Chains A and B, each alone.
Chain A
Amino acid sequence: MIDLQGYGPRLLEGAMVTLELALLSLVLAVVLGLLTASAKLSRNRAIHAIGTLYTTLIRGVPDLVLMMLLFYGGQIGINMLTDQLYDAFDIDIFINVDAFIAGVITIGLIFGAYMGETFRGAFQSVEEGQMEAARAYGMSPWLAFRRVRFPLMMRHALPGIGNNWMVLLKTTALVSIIGLTDMVRVAAEATKATHEPFLFMLPVAGIYLLIASLSEWGFAKLSKRYSTGFGEASEWTN
Chain B
Amino acid sequence: MDQLNAWFTQLLAGNAIFTANTLGFYWNGLVTTVQLVFLCLLLGIVLAVPLAIGRGSKRPWIKWPIYAYTYVFRGTPLLIQLYLVYYGVVFFNGIQDTIFWEVFKDAFYPALIAFTLNTAAYTTEIFRGAIKNTAKGEIEAARAYGMSKGLMMRRIILPSAFRRALPAYGNEVIFMLHASAVASVVTIMDLTGAAYYVYARFYAPFPAFIFVALIYLCLTFSIMFVFRQMEKRLLAHLRPRGA
Interface residues of A (CB under 8 A from B): 57, 59-66, 68-69, 72-73, 76-77, 166, 170-174, 176-177, 184, 187-188, 191-192, 195-198, 201-202, 204-205, 208-209, 212-213
- Distance in angstroms from B33 CB to nearest chain A CB is 10
B75 touches A212 (CB 8 A): yes
Tell me the complex Cα distance, A192–B77, Å.
19
A209 touches B72 (CB 8 A): yes
Other-chain contact of A64, B88, B91, B182 (Cβ < 8 Å) = B182
Interface residues of B in 77-94 (CB under 8 A from A): 77-81, 83-84, 87-88, 91
| Residues of A with C-beta under 8 A to B76 | 170, 205, 208-209
| Residues of B with C-beta under 8 A to A60 | 216-217, 220-221
Choose the segment among B38-46, B97-105, B156-164, B202-210 that binds chain A (4+ C-beta atoms closer than 8 Å). Answer: B202-210
- Distance in angstroms from A232 CB to nearest chain B CB is 26
- Distance in angstroms from A217 CB to nearest chain B CB is 13
Q: A73-B205, A177-B185 are in contact. Are A62 and B179 (CB under 8 A)?
A: yes
Q: Closest 9 interchain pairs by CB? A: A197-B87, A173-B77, A73-B205, A62-B178, A69-B209, A62-B181, A72-B205, A64-B181, A170-B77
B88 touches A197 (CB 8 A): yes
- Distance in angstroms from B188 CB to nearest chain A CB is 13
Tell me the complex Cα distance, A166–B175, Å.
14
B88 touches A198 (CB 8 A): yes
What is the predominant secondary structure among interface residues of chain B facing chain A?
helix
| Residues of A with C-beta under 8 A to B216 | 60-62, 65
Other-chain contact of A69, B81, B205, B220 (Cβ < 8 Å) = B205
Asked if B199 is an interface residue, CB under 8 A from chain A, the answer is yes
Tell me the complex Cα distance, A106–B152, Å.
49
- Distance in angstroms from B194 CB to nearest chain A CB is 11
Q: Mind listing 28 A-B residue pairs with CB under 8 Å?
A: A60-B217, A61-B216, A61-B217, A62-B179, A62-B216, A63-B178, A63-B181, A64-B184, A65-B209, A65-B212, A65-B213, A66-B213, A69-B209, A73-B209, A172-B77, A174-B182, A176-B79, A177-B79, A184-B77, A191-B91, A195-B91, A201-B80, A201-B87, A205-B80, A208-B75, A208-B76, A209-B71, A209-B72
